[in-house]
Amino acid sequence: MSTISKLVTPTPETAPGDGATSPLAQARASWERETRAPYVAANPDRETPPRSQALRWPVEPLYTPADLDAVGFDYLKDLGFPGQYPFTRGTNPNGHRSKLWTMTQVTGFGRGEDWSKRARFMLEQGLQGLILEYDLPTTNGYDSDDPLVEGEVGRAGLAIDSLQDLKRALDLPFERLRYLMSVCNAPQPVNLAMLIAALEDKGVDLSKFGLTIVNGILIEYTCVGRYIYPPVHGLRVATDCMEYIIRHHPNWAPISIISAQLQPAKATPVQELAFSLTIAMAYIDALLARGFGIDEVAPYFHFVINVDMDFFEGICKLRAFRKMWARLMKERYGATTPEAMRIRTLTSPTTTALTLQQPLNNIGRLAIMATACALGGAGETMSTPLHDEAHSLPAEQAIRVGAAIQHLVAHETGVVDTIDPLAGSYYVESLTRRIEDAATEEIARIDKLGGALKAIETGYFQRALGREQYERNREIEQGRRKWVGVNHLVLPDEKREIKIFRLDERVEIEQIARLRELRAHRDEAQVARLLEAVREAARGGANLVPPCMAAVRADATHGELCNAMRDVFGVHKPDSQLAGM
């Protein structure tokens, strides 16, 4: 992190435009000498110097207008007005005064009917959108009866083998559900085909429903690991899905950059911005190569951004994200419409701040982080994780509390009553700019490597994150950073008193039986023919979604379709360098 260590706050004495002789500098120096120094001599700083959580940048005792001058802060250039370029003060012209964010939670487990039941419960708690997570066999492209997946079916998410499974899951009150986000990256064409077929069969008006597919394969290679094919093919598969949606369902969201997945992999805010934005640019370049224009595709890009417990790193990251996206679209790609420059976001407290120890403390953490999201600009949607996540899949009480946290931030704290209330804070504005400047430098470095795809293929992202993971862990182990319940206020022999949700073991057995039943009653010759059509599209470069759609309608299974593409693309097998170890 050599570049970052250079970026310490300039002292007021060296700040341009505010020489040591200015009245402010003189007053500050005299405060330092006459008032603060004698106090600190008797009461030293608790840490020397305090450092921000992820960036580990030194935090000054006091920020003044000199810090704004030091970064060349210019109100009109750096902030502007809400709903206007560069959107630093928010993408909505009226902040959250007209509309609050859409409140969602992640859910996913079990078979179709298990998921549907839980989703209905969540909608009854006042949520309007749902994020659908699949189990590991599904996200890694296997059927439930594959020998490799034993013990994993329906455990970490919804198990999907066929269109029939998804139709059971989507047995929902669509008049109340506004928004569904599906998280199934590597097998995305198969998942997209199933979602469209299932929604059509349910009679949902596709032009009025909001479907988001995450389609975020490049972050899977970077840190999540649920990849199947080598990166270059992964990008092609993702581009097919984006292209299909833009051409056929232009009101949907074909791509979401889950910056939030970099964050638990210990990316700093600077790395998060640089990696997420260059990954977005790799997708944009792939779409431009298919003949789209930037003003046409940029509005489709959606970001999921987490904040961690460092309040100001999180708030400033959200503000820098909006501004950097706007600037990249305008300056780098020559976008001309405000819609192309306006970022769309889902914000969320991070799960990585939550502890297994003393889980009720996590409710406090979630409330603080949700407040940071609202102060930094929650965007269109906010999702809250749940305080018992470290223990198991969420219990119903945790879901209720998680939903309530968003409502109390929105209705009880007043932080949403005025737009971007922290703007103008010397600390917030100087930190926002320093994060932006460092991320701009990192983007230049990634450009030199050849962009995000090359950075992934050479392991640059992975190794950078591996180093951060080690360093952050060392800070905790050595007690340099306090984490309540982990290395501070530890309860010896702690008894865990929260209710744990446990999945019925029969789920896997029943899911496999159902899959075998499905295979026994379909037209095998037709399935074989349709799978070959998928291989043909994979080889020839035709869009993969239409042949997948035909195949899922004939009950070809999820794993069979992924295997058909494995036959053509091969599989990704990273060594330790590419795994960041």
Partner 1 sequence: MTAKSSRPLRILLAKLGLDTHTVGITVVAHALREAGMEVIFAGLKQTPEMVVSAAIQEDVDVIGISSLSAGHTRSLPRLARLLREQGGADKLLIVGGVIPEEDQPLLEAAGVARIFTMGTDTREIARYLNDWWLARLARAEPATRTEPSAPPRQ
Binding site for partner 1 (CB under 8 A): 136-137, 140, 142, 148-152, 155-156, 223-226, 264-266, 356-357, 466-467, 469-470, 473, 477, 486, 573-576, 579-581
CA-based angle 383:315:401, to the nearest 5?
30
Whether residue 411 contacts residue 405, with contact meaning beta carbons closer than 8 Å, is answered with no
Q: Looking at beta carbons only, is 152 or 436 nearer to partner 1?
A: 152
Residue 153 Cβ vs partner 1, minimum distance, rounded to whole Å: 9
Q: 3-state DSSP call for residue 256?
A: strand
Query: What minimum distance in Å lies between the beta carbon of 356 and partner 1?
Result: 7
Nearer to partner 1, 463 or 529 (CB): 463
Least Å distance, CB 307 to partner 1, is: 19
> Is residue 87 within 8 Å of 341, Cβ to Cβ?
yes
For residue 553, the SS3 value is helix
Q: Which of 533, 554, 555 is nearest to 545 (CA)?
A: 533
Compute the distance between CA of residue 90 and CA of residue 418 in angstroms, rounded to an integer: 11
Single-letter code of the amino acid located at 282? A
Contact 502, 378 (CB under 8 A): no
User: How far does the chain reach from its first CA to its final CA, in angstroms?
Assistant: 17
CB nearer to partner 1: give 396 or 477: 477
What is the nearest approach in angstroms of partner 1 to the Cβ of residue 106?
16
**Alpha carbon distance 245, 379 (integer Å):** 23
The smaller minimum CB distance to partner 1, of residues 95 and 485, is found at 485
150 vs 417, which CB is nearer to partner 1? 150
Q: Both tokens of residue 197?
A: 């077929």
Q: Output the smallest distance, CB 226 to partner 1, in A.
A: 6
Token look-up 């790609």 returns 333
Give me the least distance between CB of 368 and partner 1, in Å please. 22
Question: Quick one: 100 or 486, whose CB is closer to partner 1?
Answer: 486
Least gap, CB of 476 to partner 1 (angstroms)? 9
Q: Which is nearer to partner 1, 406 or 511 (CB)?
A: 511
Closest approach, Cβ 462 to partner 1, in A, equals: 9
Task: Look up residue 524 and give its two tokens.
Answer: 């095998």
| 464 touches 442 (CB < 8 A) | no
Task: Find out whether the peptide bond into 86 is cis, omega within 30 degrees of 0.
Answer: yes
DSSP states along 121-167:
HHHHTT--EEEEEBPHHHHTT--TT-GGGTT-TTTSSB--SSHHHHH
In the complex, the smallest distance separating the C-beta of residue 149 from partner 1, rounded to whole angstroms, is 6
* Cα 75 to the center of its chain, rounded Å: 29
Using a 10 angstrom Cβ sphere, with 0-12 exposed, 13-18 middle and 19 or more buried, the burial of residue 566 is middle
Secondary structure element (H or E) that encloses residue 381, with its range: strand 381-383
Instruction: Provide CB contacts within 8 A for 377, sequence distance 6+.
Output: 89, 90, 91, 95, 318, 319, 322, 345, 347, 420
Looking at the Cβ atoms of 411 and 474, the one nearer to partner 1 is 474
Q: Between residues 26 and 473, which has the closer beta carbon with respect to partner 1? A: 473
| Smallest distance from partner 1 to CB 576, Å | 4
Looking at the Cβ atoms of 137 and 189, the one nearer to partner 1 is 137
Cβ proximity to partner 1, 155 vs 327, nearer residue: 155
Q: Which residues of 23-51 are buried (b: 16+ CB within 10 A; e: fewer)?
A: eebeebeeeeeeeeeeeeeeeeeeeeeeb
**Do 53 and 310 contact (CB within 8 A), yes or no?**
yes
Q: In the bound complex, what is the minimum distance in angstroms from residue 501's beta carbon to partner 1?
A: 14
Query: Taking a C-beta distance cutoff of 8 angstroms, is the pair 226, 139 a contact?
Result: yes
Q: Whose CA is closest to 552, among 540, 542, 564, 541?
A: 564
In the complex with partner 1, the residue whose CB is nearer, 151 or 291, is 151
CB of 579 to partner 1, least distance (A): 6
Q: Residue 554 CB, nearest distance to partner 1 (Å)?
A: 27
Q: At 103, is the secondary structure helix, strand, or coil?
A: strand
- Please identify, using beta-carbon distances, which residue of 351 and 413 lies nearer to partner 1: 351
Query: Which whole-number Å values give the CA distances from 93 to 24, 78, 79, 377, in the listed order?
Result: 35, 17, 13, 12
CA distance 575 to 394: 35
